[in-house]
């Protein structure tokens, strides 16, 4: 019989895989990239012996690994682009990609893709995961003030992209749905 970390990993994949892929999709913007991110996070979580007492703790660890790998990957892409520009002396102009890619995404997903990786991670953690500012800060390993700034900037960018009128500042404190055990 499978025991310990193996049973926790098996139960996590069987019961929460869809939710993990959904979370990763909101960060990456594509299902294949999300599935890769979940796989990588599961491998890094369970590839080493970790003392994870239950599935909820394992899921939290995997979600943090997904967010961290996403932000690290975005940083790497930025550094690689800068190196290519330096070495090849290419101009700093952005080339428009295929328009069909944006047409297939929902308006919210498109607006999320306009955010920086940190803004996207904070907005998704605050509003999709329904974490408090303090929980988001702990989850992403950044200061609470940084979370507030990234959420504020991200929500304003999304409001502009979605043509939302009204007071967007209140969205920092608005949950998508009530949390178990109280208000966020």
- 136-161 pLDDT tens trace: 999 899 999 999 999 999 888 888 88
The residue ranges of every structural domain in the chain are 1-95, 102-173
Q: 97: pLDDT confidence band, cut at 50, 70 and 90?
A: low
CA 9 to CA 173: how far, in whole Å?
A: 34
Give the mean pLDDT of the chain.
79
Buried (b) or exposed (e) across 43-76, using 16+ Cβ within 10 A? ebbbeeeeebeebeebbebbbbbbbbbbbebbee
Q: What architecture is domain 102-173?
A: Orthogonal Bundle (1.10)
The string of pLDDT tens digits covering residues 29-63 is 889 989 999 998 988 888 877 778 888 888 888 99
pTM for the full model? Answer: 0.52
Q: Is 4 exposed, middle or buried (0-12, 13-18, 19+ CB in 10 A)?
A: exposed
């Amino acid at each position: 019989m499978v025991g310990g970390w193996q049973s926790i990993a098996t139960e996590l994949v069987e019961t929460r895989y869809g939710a993990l892929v959904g979370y990763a999709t909101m960060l990456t913007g594509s299902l294949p990239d999300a599935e890769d991110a979940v796989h990588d996070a599961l491998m890094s979580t369970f590839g080493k012996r970790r003392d994870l007492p239950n599935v909820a703790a394992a899921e939290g660890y995997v979600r943090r690994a997904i967010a961290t790998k996403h932000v690290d990957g975005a940083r790497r892409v930025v550094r690689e682009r800068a190196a290519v520009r330096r070495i090849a002396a290419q101009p700093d102009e952005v080339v428009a990609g295929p328009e069909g890619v944006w047409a297939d995404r929902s308006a919210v997903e498109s607006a999320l893709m306009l955010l920086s990786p940190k803004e996207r991670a904070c907005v998704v953690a605050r509003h999709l995961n329904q974490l408090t500012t303090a929980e988001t800060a702990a989850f992403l390993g950044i200061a609470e003030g940084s979370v507030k700034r990234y959420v504020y900037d991200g929500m304003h960018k999304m409001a502009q992209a979605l043509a939302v009128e009204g007071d967007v500042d209140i969205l920092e404190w608005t949950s998508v749905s009530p949390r178990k055990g109280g208000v966020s």
